[in-house]
Structure 1
Amino acid sequence: MTAEDVDVTPDNDREVEIAVANQLNISRTDVRATPQTRTVEVFTENVTQAQFAQALQAAGLSASEENIRDGVTDETRQTAVSVLTEKINRIGLSGGSVQQVQTTQETFILIEVPNQNRTEVLNLIGDRGKVEIVAEFPTDANGTTEYRQVSMLTQGDFAEIGAPQAGQGNQPSYVPVTLTDEAAQNFSQGMQNFGFTSQQGVQSCRYSDTPDDPGYCLHTVVDGEIVYSASMSTGLAGTIANGDFVKDPGFRMTTTNASDARALQVNLQAGALPTSSTSRARGRRTSSNRRSRLSSSCSASSRASSPCSPSPG
């Protein structure tokens, strides 16, 4: 949903996103504050307009439910088109196209991919593709061990994403990545502050065996689901501790298999869809070609609009 005519400026947009996300107990990536359009958007279905208004007020903005409507902004739809186009190009689906199609009442995002299995296309675009590295680690709470999770890295923190590499022997598949300078500093500081480079923190993730008592884990999380959990390696811990990591902030994001590594690379390079939508596909034959057509719709109405919803293509 979207809050319009709110006092978002280039000086407070980041703080607004953080405050609204914290108030609603959602990820910051599910909130977008845009000074140019004076809007704040929330990309989750589990928030009411009343809760959204309260969160905006807690962030210091003058807002009420009258400012809030369902649906997304034109900018968000354009971002979705760009991300979907990039995903299709990155995965090598030649001849594919993504475009907005407007009717008098609705705006559709139409995806057409010739000669492709529609299930594969749905797998590509059906999820947002939001990638995070989440640190999970134990803390002491009045003599009791409790676990804390902190999002350390998101898509915007990567300066370079390499080609996916298939696992060999006991080594898992992975995607080599390099962080931006700012992200490297933050990641390095966090790993030291949270104990990952300590003797107790190195090589101590046991999430697959005891998820309720996982130790020190770095989770690769895609669309809110943990797809792989890894320990802090001795080598990486050493480079972080001695300061070399911030000079050359490269490491491997490991996955379960080569297919997951490829999907991870595509999501990292293309970025995450700004919002979720449910899509339907219908295979169509034209001459000798099969074309998978998928469409999701977002109402163009400025007030009585609906969020992205399924529409047959």
Structure 2
Amino acid sequence: MELRRVLFGLTTAAVLLLGGVPASAAPQPRLSVSGADVVDPAGNPIVLRGYNWGHWGTVQPQDAGDHVAAGANSVRIPLRWWGEWKDDVDSRDPDPANPSHIKAGHLALLDQTIEQASAKHLWITLFVDSDHGQGAGGRPDNFWTNPEMKQQFKEVWQFLVRRYKATPYLGAFEILPEPKPIGQNDDQVRAFYDEMIGVIRGIDRRTPVVVGPNDNYSCSHLEGAFTTADPKVIYTCNYFIFDKPLNRIKLITDFRTAHDVPVWINQVGVESGDVDAKLKARTVLRAFSDNGIGWAWWTFRLNGTNPDTHGIYYRDPADADGWIVKQAWLELVNGYLAA
């Protein structure tokens, strides 16, 4: 906690001088895409499996090592930007003098989080979430309707790509999760991603990008997400588990086969209190394993005290700095990481 307080006290200038996560001057080995496979730097197919570090500021020093010990090879890490989240989660800095548009303390914490994963050789998918920008909740002011905020979002990504493009084990840049802008069809959402791919490729032509479909990353809209803008694209969709746990598997495999492209599930999860939740989770994770579909479990640490919702760990209501593990869930998910 003391380290975090120090980091959040840094000025913008100090953070910019730090230059981000330690990086080699030489180009770092990178993941790539070959047909329907994500491939490692040696050209071998790799199925990315791991957790979301989805709730801002909850990562603990031992988490990356514990993931690797359980068999994980990847992790998904967020930066929340321009949205309505409690507890000072929004990283957007409205100060026009800050060229990154990111609060200094948030950037320092992101550096720390990425370094923890990189040091343990977890392939990192970095995503920038924006409830406002994606049009969440029917918000009319979004990246499709507000040119100024869209331009700032481009500049955020330019800053982040420059900062992390030489970071070891930076696996992929996930541009914007769960788009659902009012009045924008699949083609218009894809056009946004294509434009953003061009922004990223102006700085980094090597690191894969992740894009997903309209309607909150709906698997049923995968076909509309297909792009020819870049060959190093990993496709994704959400797979929160409900009453028909296998109802999207064929959508994923058919799309993958039709276009010879990789599909990785950015969020798979189920609320712990759901009826037959563990059975449903095993059913889906087994199907992912059988079909070679990579995934990131939502989520590892929940910034809340409810044991019946998502999260392998949740906050101890009797101890503000304490955590309670759902041991059965930890063992269940870990059991599929090295499948």
TM-score > 0.5, shorter chain as reference = no
Would you tell me which structure has more helix in proportion to its own residues? 2
TM-score normalised per structure 2: 0.24
Superposition TM-score, scaled by structure 1 size? 0.25
- Answer 1 or 2: which has greater strand percent: 1
Q: Give 1 or 2 for the bigger CA radius of gyration.
A: 1
